[in-house]
Chain A
Amino acid sequence: MRPLDNLKVLDFCWVVAGPMTTSYFAEYGATVVRVESRQRPDVLRTAPPSRVKGKSLNGSGYYANYNANKYALGLNLGDPRAIAIVKRMVAWADMVTENFTPGTMERLGLGYDELRKIKPDIILFSTSMLGRGGPRSKLPGFGAVLSSLSGLTAITGWPDRSPTNPYGAYTDFITPRFAVATLLAALDHRRRTGVGQHIDMSQLEVSLHFLGPLLLDRANNGREAGRTGNRHEAAAPHGAFPCRGEDCWVTITCMSDAHWLALRQALSDPPWMQSERFSTLLGRKRGEDELEALLAEATQSWEAGELVRALQAAGVPAGPVHSNKGVVEDPQLGHRGHLVYYEKAEIGRHPVQRSEFRLSRAAAAQNWPTPVIGEHTRLVCRDILGMTDAEIDPLVAQGVLEEPPVASHG
């Protein structure tokens, strides 16, 4: 059995932070019905990577990563009959999830107070960039810009250059773990007390907990943290160093004197490493520019994999700087079964990432790849809502329900 076999989620989430949250539920057995419409498709459905030339809503490998094991219900929310169907789904659901701009659910007549009338103990999860309420609540945006608003961009980069954005919609990957823990806690609370609730998660606020110490320092000591590249205030060397080949790098971090002595041994203790001025942490920090230059010279002739093995064998925290190819081919991630490969019509063979933990007893579900838009409309209407084809067909014809062009009426 899977831990969430009995959990029913009506999912309005889109892009990354929301769908990744519900992907944990789908992976562990929940019935997650994702509502989408061709009228306003998830922007991720047209995002690279894709093998499709030209526009398609069903070719994105990015979208596919967060939507496996979910049911796709195609529903045009602009039509009042669709809202009526949603309300029947709410009566079925334990939890409703959404990451629209605050106010959108209320405008659709699906605000928390409305949902409670249908299902008094419903749990509604709302996550938005800046949270509900406040002057900028309705500001639209993405995780990529939120990195900047949360201070993560300002502190990332080289001290002599402009800041650099952490790759991707970075804050979108901070939110889901907090959200999954919170929503499962809310479900447990409901099980014990019968009380549902509305969770409001500001992706800005949750992300600030990923740099709390720096904010406390700014607020209480008045210090604005600067950009320090890859350096560490209490360790040296601490950086990425070049190896043989194009753009090949190895991280080397001496967090203690023991690590430094192990590094010397692994690199055959050349004369410069024996120098007295590098024998202490304070000495290495004082001469860090030169230390880094000398170490980079020493690592250049090494093949990255050999250097990592030599350093780890000697007891130095060090590792390859993986490209996306390196991650895909990493033997440790392979051992963990991190990537599950699926085959799906327009996407072709593609990887889906598993959650980052293995549970020793609870099984995960790896059942089906990401659905095409509207793929399970008929299935959901029949099996969950008990509708007949005679009820479904006219709603499809009138564009209230959406199915893929060649619908399977099987």
Chain B
Amino acid sequence: MSAKEKSSPGMLSPYRVLDLTDERGLLCGKILADLGADVLQIEPPAGNSARRIAPFYRDEPSPDHSFFWWSYAANKRSVTLDVTRADGRALLERMVASAHFLIESGRPGEMAALGLGYEDLAAINPALIVVSITPFGQTGPYSSYLASDLVGMGMGGFMYVTGDPDRAPLRVGFPHFYLHGSAAGAAGAMLAHAHRVATGEGQHVDVSCQEAVARALANSLAGYPIEGSIIVRQGAYRQTGAGTFMRITWPCKDGFVNFQFSGGASSGQSVNNFVRWMADEGMADEFLLSLDFKNLGYGTVTMEMMDRIVPPVSRFLLERTKQQLFEGAIERRILLFPVSTLGDILEDPQLEARGFFRTAESSDFGAGLTLLGPFARASATPIRATGSAPRLGQHNAEIYIDELGLARSDLIRLASAGVI
């Protein structure tokens, strides 16, 4: 960590964010915190739901050991507050008066039922930006639908195109539905902030995680209105249009590699280079040599062509390890990559050279923990690496006593009553 990262303020250092989200919305405030905002995670006295999500440090399921919590609450401060209680709401309203952003992930109408809907909050602080992160948005026919990650990935269209053709559609192996929406929430918050800078007005940012996932459908979405094609999942292959495919995943000697076998300016040049590599190693294939992939359009190879392409290419790959293939690919400018395991990533020389993984000098859990680096680098301001996540109510005293001026006796009273 450079001296600059430690000392200079981040891009968003003047701004205070009140984060009332549960595990579905944490990433939104995390992005703003990484960019330098002062984010107060307002947790129910029993703790944020994310604190219960596995896996746990040392496999000890305790509220401060959840890696999910570490990942998406780091760089925030934690205060406890039961906003469903009158005293809790009163304290929240005092914080709202001087805050710049408030983020919540309750079901549509849930905040309003507590007297904390957008109109209520705007009455206290008209410049406040309220970001609501929900599966489907605040209104509409499905707005009250219950959605887990799996439900959302299915309704966003992502599962239907992912997985093997002979089995059920698949989700991505880590829950991403709410992460997509939460990351988009940070973008929406900053757009609303630009509006506030120009006009002084706050507003309500209504995020739909379903829309966020639908935006990850690449070219498949427009395939229906434009070509009338239903894009189906193809396992190792990918359908790019009506009757056109590219192969993506290939087995090799010790695992898998990802090699986009397609035409197009970049992919086609890469495939041409690969075909030459095969020839150099005495595994030339006449059909492959007869094609110039650079002049075939991107994603325009038919299944019939693929049937002639796959056997010779597979033979070549199965004789080599993913590391041998990757090194050969780098040398010959071929777009071929290992299907990295998590262990491979931790040893990745590029990430190591950039110092992405960090070893914590100290933490609540001692020295030597490995943590993630920042999501981007900026030349004039620090973007925070994923530091330690707050313990439950760690910052109660500095907010309630130092800042809001509560007497310690009142803090104790509210804690005993279960409000804090």
Contacts and interface: CB of A to CB of B under 8 A. Distances in A.
B103 to A, nearest CB: 12
A156 B170 contact: yes
Contact of B266 (A3, A43, A205, A333): A43
Interface residues of A, number: 166
Contacts of A348: 226
B138 to A, nearest CB: 8
Nearest to B30: A209
21 contacts: A46-B298, A135-B349, A136-B349, A164-B249, A165-B162, A167-B233, A186-B381, A188-B197, A201-B377, A212-B372, A216-B71, A221-B55, A230-B170, A240-B150, A253-B148, A325-B230, A331-B141, A332-B141, A335-B137, A359-B204, A361-B195
B221 A208 contact: no
Contacts of B188: 355-357, 359
Contacts of B349: 134-136
Interface stretch (B77-85, B337-345, B403-411): B337-345
Contact of B215 (A48, A163, A356): A356
Contact of B211 (A62, A199, A338): A338
Is the interface on chain B under 10, 10 to 19, 20 to 34, or 35 or more residues? 35 or more
B127 to A, nearest CB: 11
Nearest to B386: A212
Interface stretch (A137-145, A269-277, A397-405): A137-145
Contact of B248 (A5, A132, A165, A225): A165
Contacts of B219: 47-49, 61-62, 65, 168
B191 A212 contact: no
Contacts of B194: 3-4, 7, 28, 184, 187-188, 362
A112 interface: yes
Interface in B219-252: 219-227, 229-233, 235-236, 238, 240-242, 244, 248-249, 251
A108 to B, nearest CB: 18
Nearest to B264: A43
Interface stretch (B177-185, B281-289, B390-398): B177-185
A286 interface: no
Contact of B350 (A137, A206, A355): A137
Which of A130, A169, A253, A332 counts the most chain B CB atoms within 10 A? A332
A220 interface: yes
A157 B163 contact: yes
B221 A324 contact: yes
B383 interface: yes
Contact of A48 (B55, B58, B67, B300): B300
A347 B265 CA distance: 21
Contact of A184 (B190, B198, B232, B340): B190
Interface stretch (A77-85, A172-180, A374-382, A385-393): A172-180
Given A46-B264, A162-B236, A319 B152 contact: yes
A328 B221 contact: yes
B125 interface: no
A153 B255 CA distance: 12
